[in-house]
Amino acid sequence: MKQFDVNAENSAAAGTAKPGADGAQLDASAQALLEFVRQQGNAPLDEVTVEVAREQSNALRAKLQPLSPSVLRVEDGVMAAADQRIPYRFYRDVPGDQPVPLVVFFHGGGFVLGDLDSHDIVCRLLCKDSGCAVLSVDYRRAPEHKFPAAVDDAVTAMGWVMRNTGALGVDPGRLALAGDSAGANLATVVALSMKEAGEPAAALQLLLYPVTDQARDYDSKQRYAAGYGLSLAAINYYARQYFSNEADKRDWRASPILHKNLAGLPETLIITAGFDPLVDEGEAYALRLAAAGVRTTLKRFPGQIHGFVSRGGVIPQAQEALDEMTLLLRDRFFAD
* Catalytic residue from among 27, 107, 306, 310: 306
According to DSSP, the β-strands at 84-92 and 73-81 are: antiparallel
* Catalytic residue from among 119, 276, 280, 310: 276
Give the span between the Cα atoms of 292 and 298, in whole angstroms: 15
Closest CA to 296 of 159, 139, 189, 188: 188
* Residue 276 a catalytic site member: yes
Amino acid identity, position 9: E
CB 305 within 8 A of CB 229: yes
Cα dist. 26→18, 22, 99, 180, 186 in Å? 6, 11, 43, 21, 29
* Catalytic residue from among 57, 136, 181, 220: 181
Cα dist. 246→3, 240, 254 in Å? 37, 9, 11
Q: Is there a cis peptide before residue 172, judged by omega within 30 degrees of 0? A: no
Q: List residues with catalytic annotation.
A: 181, 276, 306
